[in-house]
Structure 1
Amino acid sequence: MSVRLCVLGSGSSGNATLIVAPDTRLLIDCGFSGDEIAARMAGTGAAWESLDAVLLTHTHQDHIRATAVRACLEHEVTLFCHTTHAAQLDGRRHFRKLVAAGLVKTYDSLVPFKLPGGAQARALPVPHDCPRTFGFRLEFHGEHGHPRRVAYLADLGHWTPALTESVGDVDLLAIESNHDEEMERNSRRHADLIERVLGPYGHLSNRQAAEALATLRAHDRVPRQIVLLHLSRECNLPRLAYRAANQALGQRSGTAIFVTRQDRPGSVLEV
């Protein structure tokens, strides 16, 4: 069995990504209602009762919803989060019940930890305006004993050299490409929101994502698959995000680029 990834939805209204591997089934974030996640998973053949874990990147509402936490409780799905997240979520009723049921496990920044089934994860700190925001580097047992590596990086204000080192050998990189900078500056959004999005702890623009990919290319470390995440519906267009990423990769063959959407799941990708 191969490792498969499906972005169930990505954007400011909700984020969740399904990964099905021989050794585990998990979600990265649960930013839709429990029922909405179930409906979006149904097309892939997955369901809440088949999941082993949810990995939480940070506690903004578009990454964790109360009814999704309740679904974790109902179906005995373990939630992995940082200790800071646990403290932030402690006042929420369903989260407290999840803790009481022994279904919350904490991870530390940059320290490898095991997922149910033996897959390995590492939380990668990223610059964002929510305390302790992380991406993930995941390693699964693939077919014929070959490991499959995935990195997921959304909600980050700028790229860092440490990220280049951490994701340089992955097979699939899911990276934020939130906005076109000109569209963002010319939008009707409040000035404070524009400043936040464009700031160093906001969201990665098409240009910044392209520069990150160009950096990986310069190190000869471009993954076979690139997934563009968290596109703004107001201040971006899929073709702009795709074009920026494609130009950054130049004429490199064998690299496929996929653009995700907020309103529906993307393709099921084999890693």
Structure 2
Amino acid sequence: MRYLFKRHLMVYILFIILVAGVLPAYAGETGDLPDVNDLIKKGKLAEASTLLRKEIDAHPENVEAYQLLGRVYLIEGDEVKASSVFDKVISIDKGFEDKVSSEYYGAGLILIKDPKKSNIGLHFIKKYIREKGDKGQEAASSLYAAGVDMLGANRFMAHVILDRTLVLNPSYEKDEDFYLSYSVKSIQKSADLVEGGKDFLTRFPDGRHVPEVLYLMGEAYSELRNHQEARTYFQRLIKEFPETEWGKKAVTDLKF
């Protein structure tokens, strides 16, 4: 009995040793990847890239590692490297080919919020839309939000994004909030803002943003040194909307 017990114990110990030796090697294929995902979400792309390249060196057939590395390259704005990596993924897993456009879309939504890379982000989203034309309105919603977020950082790029939004979903022409951003707040040149303001007032004569538009148009005319027109808009603002933030601002700033 004692002999059998020792024998079973030895077999059990050997089994544990074998499992312990195999599991780390297997876990290496995906074990570090959740950490990599976290690094990507935090924007620590260099660290994520280093871990993924080490993972690929150790396990050349790890599709998920290649996919994540391609995602990192896209978020960095390097389409050439990303495309090369995705080609490798497709050579291993043909099913990934249908998912590539979604990778571009995801990266585009991230990059479009970066004033320095928003043009790349827009390019990626356009690429996605070309391949998934039926998703145009879905993309329009995301672009709308991105365009509004961009107003404070880069009005030119904000207008480009909003213009693309309108192409994808023309119904936004009837959205007062959208049109305020598109035709007035994203405009850089004073002369263009005046025209955008007139367009807005024609479309939404009783809109809740009329006071703000009147004020911005008055300022634009002042910058154009057309003080008579500026005075006309500020006087209208003070007369029709004296209790609004913009009416009070016109009085306080002596813009009448």
Shorter-chain TM range is under 0.3
Give TM-score scaled by structure 1 length. Answer: 0.25
Give TM-score scaled by structure 2 length. Answer: 0.26
Decide which structure has the larger Cα Rg and report it. 2
Higher RCO (CA-CA < 8 Å; seq separation 6+)? 1
Q: Which has the higher helix share?
A: 2
Q: Which has the higher strand share?
A: 1
